[in-house]
């Protein structure tokens, strides 16, 4: 009988930092590896698992959230443990984990947002979509944000990806629909007073290059009480796009162009609420009033040109416009934040890696025993499911590296528990989370909601401790 790493007598021990989709797909791939004996401990800085499925996916998209059933099954497997309320860099260090696990996987996602780098970005009323999304989803980091939804009539949403769709839809969505979801209760109350009647959706490229999925833009139109309005000028394809579209095989491009063309024909519509899709416009400045409140966004029109790779890019032309808005959300993409002790590629906002193997820095050698998955690996693109093949690919690298793995590791499963107890860290087990989960669902049921989320870590810990 062999004593090689990953055998029954010498099981592999892996720590995963982060507990969103990419983490769970990595755990699944490890458990599915033929003949591998492995114990996996998943850490999260929050007491709750599931990353963006809990804190990012919009509350009116419960079907997408039902993917947690898959993660629950993975969590029920022997060899899985959850350590919530444990932050890497604060409560434990990379060295602590390297001393207790053979391999580490960073699944820390992209916790921040890209800045646009234009004047006025810090005015009152200008927010990142990340803040709004975290706020309505009861994320502890964003629960204290305040958005003047009752005071604003016109809002700019910059970017036209699916996050822009979520932010727009939640603002114009029917309160009765939201009331049944797991939206944060404070957000529901604030949205019930929302007087926003126009959302200006600002895309810097043309209709053919819109990053939203056809289903997502169409969903807004299907709400019934909102018109998605596209002017003839905004909805027409320019020459560059016409040729480019013909060469594209992605059906979503054609479907978006078709939908937007249909909306040009549909005109203004008759509903009081409007989502106005603008294309080939880039914000160049957020303008404030004397008190530093946002009053307008200044946009510059663009033309498209093909870059060296044949991709249409926007180039500003000498045509400007001011749109009066009282709130603005920048939905121009997420960005990773550095984790103490983990390399970080400042330029790309990710953990530098080669096919999931962490590098000392971009272009430098591989750091032994450290791996990365998800948005922290490839940047903020793709749907939840995209993470499955991506995590599998990283796990394949981990398995490939096993025969050469050299490290002295205290691989006893108790080793990490001893450390956390020594540091007096009140970690949250998977069972603790299940108790909190039950509590939130039961509280939700009382008011006809899917769940009543807690957004305050201290309150979560109170419920967890009471249930122990
Ligand atoms: P995204 O899809 O990359 O969209 C970002 C948008 O911001 C693009 O339209 C981009 O335009 C624009 N942009 C970037 N920099 C800009 C600037 N300086 N000025 C103006 N516009 C700028 O990112 P996302 O919306 O954050 O979504 C992230 C990922 O999560 C995506 O893969 C998305 O599909 C996924 N997601 C899915 C769902 C869902 O399925 N329901 C919901 C939310 C998120 P360019 O194209 O010109 O760069």
CATH code for the domain of 215: 3.50.50.60
Decide which of 334, 353, 381 is a domain's last residue.
334
Same domain, 40 and 158: no
Instruction: Tell if the pTM clears 0.85, that is, is over it.
Output: yes
Residue 1, pLDDT > 60, answer no
Instruction: Give per-residue pLDDT as tens, 433-447.
Output: 999 999 999 999 999
Q: How far apart, in whole angstroms, are the C-alpha atoms of residue 448 and residue 210?
A: 36
Assigned token pair, 453: 């989320």
Which of 378, 333, 324 shows the shortest CA–CA distance to 204? 333
Confidence category of residue 3, pLDDT binned at 50, 70, 90:
confident
Q: What is the mean pLDDT of residues 396-404?
A: 97
Q: How far is the CA of 293 from the centre of ligand 1 (A)?
A: 26
Which domain, by its residues, includes 380?
12-111+336-428
The CATH number assigned to the domain holding 406 equals: 3.40.50.720
The pLDDT mean for the chain works out to 97
Q: 429: which residues sit within 8 A by CB, 6+ positions away?
A: 81, 82, 83, 84
Confidence category of residue 78, pLDDT binned at 50, 70, 90:
very high
Same domain, 36 and 62: yes
Q: How far apart, in whole angstroms, are the C-alpha atoms of residue 151 and residue 289?
A: 15
User: From atom 26 of ligand 1, which residue's Cα is the shortest distance away?
Assistant: 333
Q: How far is the CA of 233 from the centre of ligand 1 (A)?
A: 23
Q: Does the residue 236 lie in any domain?
A: yes
Same domain, 56 and 70: yes
Residue 163 in contact with ligand 1 by CB distance below 6 A = yes
Confidence category of residue 249, pLDDT binned at 50, 70, 90:
confident
Q: Does the residue 343 lie in any domain?
A: yes
Q: What is the mean pLDDT of residues 92-99?
A: 98
User: From atom 33 of ligand 1, which residue's Cα is the shortest distance away?
Assistant: 162
Confidence category of residue 2, pLDDT binned at 50, 70, 90:
confident
- How many C-alpha atoms does 176 have within 13 Å on its Cβ side? 1
Residue 465, pLDDT > 60, answer yes
Same domain, 173 and 185: yes
Q: How far is the CA of 226 from the centre of ligand 1 (A)?
A: 22
To test ligand 1's pocket by mutation, which of 162, 217, 312 has the most ligand atoms within 8 angstroms of CB? 162
Radius of gyration of the chain from its Cα atoms, rounded to whole angstroms: 24
Q: What is the mean pLDDT of residues 396-409?
A: 96
Q: How far is the CA of 417 from the centre of ligand 1 (A)?
A: 40
Residue 386 in contact with ligand 1 by CB distance below 6 A = no
Q: How far is the CA of 380 from the centre of ligand 1 (A)?
A: 8
Residue 170 in contact with ligand 1 by CB distance below 6 A = no
Residue 306 in contact with ligand 1 by CB distance below 6 A = no
Residue 380 in contact with ligand 1 by CB distance below 6 A = yes
Instruction: Give per-residue pLDDT as tens, 109-122.
Output: 999 999 999 999 99
Same domain, 23 and 81: yes
Decide which of 297, 319, 334 is a domain's last residue.
334
Same domain, 31 and 58: yes
Please state, for a pLDDT cut of 90, what percent of the chain lies above it.
98
Q: Which atom of ligand 1 is nearest to the CA of 210?
A: 9
To test ligand 1's pocket by mutation, which of 285, 333, 350, 383 has the most ligand atoms within 8 angstroms of CB? 333
Q: How many residues does the chain have?
A: 468
Residue 38 in contact with ligand 1 by CB distance below 6 A = no
Decide which of 311, 334, 357 is a domain's last residue.
334
Q: How far apart, in whole angstroms, are the C-alpha atoms of residue 437 and residue 442?
A: 9
Confidence category of residue 135, pLDDT binned at 50, 70, 90:
very high
Assigned token pair, 32: 């599915």
Same domain, 173 and 96: no
Instruction: Give per-residue pLDDT as tens, 14-42.
Output: 999 999 999 999 999 999 999 999 999 99
Same domain, 152 and 226: yes
Residue 275 in contact with ligand 1 by CB distance below 6 A = no
Residue 209 in contact with ligand 1 by CB distance below 6 A = yes
Task: Give the chain's domain count.
Answer: 2
Helices 430-446 and 457-467, packing angle to 10 deg:
100
* pLDDT confidence of residue 220: 98
Same domain, 304 and 395: no
Instruction: Give per-residue pLDDT as tens, 291-319.
Output: 999 999 999 999 999 999 999 999 999 99
Instruction: Give per-residue pLDDT as tens, 326-365.
Output: 999 999 999 999 999 999 999 999 999 999 999 999 889 9
Instruction: Count CB-CB contacts under 10 A for residue 374.
Output: 32
* pLDDT confidence of residue 399: 98
Residue 149, pLDDT > 80, answer yes
Same domain, 161 and 151: yes
Helices 21-32 and 68-75, packing angle to 10 deg:
40
Assigned token pair, 220: 């807004």
Instruction: Give per-residue pLDDT as tens, 160-171.
Output: 999 999 999 999
Q: How far is the CA of 255 from the centre of ligand 1 (A)?
A: 18
Residue 369 in contact with ligand 1 by CB distance below 6 A = no
Residue 160 in contact with ligand 1 by CB distance below 6 A = yes
Q: Does the residue 462 lie in any domain?
A: no
Same domain, 100 and 87: yes
Which of 50, 112, 110 shows the shortest CA–CA distance to 380? 110
């Amino acid at each position: 009988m062999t004593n090689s790493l990953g055998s029954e007598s010498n099981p592999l021990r892996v720590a995963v930092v982060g507990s969103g989709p990419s983490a769970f797909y990595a755990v699944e791939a490890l458990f599915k590896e033929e003949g591998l004996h492995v114990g996996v401990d998943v850490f999260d800085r929050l007491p709750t698992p599931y990353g963006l499925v809990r804190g990012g996916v919009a509350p009116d998209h419960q079907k997408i959230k039902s993917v947690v059933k898959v993660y629950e099954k993975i969590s029920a497997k022997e060899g899985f443990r959850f350590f919530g309320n444990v932050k890497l860099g604060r409560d434990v260090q990379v060295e602590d984990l390297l001393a207790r696990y053979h391999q580490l996987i960073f699944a820390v996602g992209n916790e921040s947002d890209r800045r646009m780098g234009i004047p006025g970005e810090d005015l009152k009323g200008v927010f990142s979509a990340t803040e709004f999304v975290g706020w309505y989803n009861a994320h502890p980091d964003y629960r204290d944000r305040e958005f003047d939804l009752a005071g604003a009539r016109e809002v700019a949403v910059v970017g036209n990806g699916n996050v822009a769709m979520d932010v727009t839809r939640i603002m114009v969505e029917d309160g009765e629909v939201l009331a049944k979801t797991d939206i944060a209760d404070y957000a529901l109350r604030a949205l019930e007073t929302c007087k926003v009647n126009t959302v200006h959706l600002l895309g810097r490229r043309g209709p053919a290059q819109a990053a939203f999925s056809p289903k997502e833009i169409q969903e807004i139109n299907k709400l019934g009480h909102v018109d998605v309005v596209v002017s003839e000028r905004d909805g027409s394809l320019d020459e560059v796009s016409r040729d480019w579209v013909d060469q594209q095989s992605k059906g979503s491009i054609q479907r978006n162009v078709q939908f937007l063309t249909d909306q040009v024909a549909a005109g203004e519509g008759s509903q009081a609420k409007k989502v106005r899709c603008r294309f080939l416009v880039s914000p160049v400045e957020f303008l404030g009033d004397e008190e530093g409140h946002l009053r307008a966004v200044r946009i510059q029109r663009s033309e498209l040109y093909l870059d060296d790779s044949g991709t249409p890019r926007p180039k500003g032309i000498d045509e400007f416009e001011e749109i009066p808005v009282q709130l603005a959300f920048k939905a121009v993409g997420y960005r990773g934040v550095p984790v103490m002790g983990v390399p970080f590629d400042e330029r790309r906002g990710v953990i530098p890696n080669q096919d999931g193997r962490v590098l000392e820095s971009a272009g430098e050698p591989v750091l032994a025993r450290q791996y990365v998955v998800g948005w922290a690996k490839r940047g903020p693109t793709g749907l939840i499911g995209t993470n499955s093949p991506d995590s599998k690919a990283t796990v394949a690298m981990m398995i490939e590296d096993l025969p050469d793995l050299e490290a002295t590791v205290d691989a006893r499963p108790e080793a990490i528990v001893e450390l956390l107890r020594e540091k007096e860290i009140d970690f949250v087990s998977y069972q603790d989370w299940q108790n909190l989960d039950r509590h939130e669902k039961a509280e939700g049921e009382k008011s006809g909601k899917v769940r009543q989320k807690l957004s305050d870590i201290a309150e979560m810990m109170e419920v967890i401790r009471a249930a122990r």
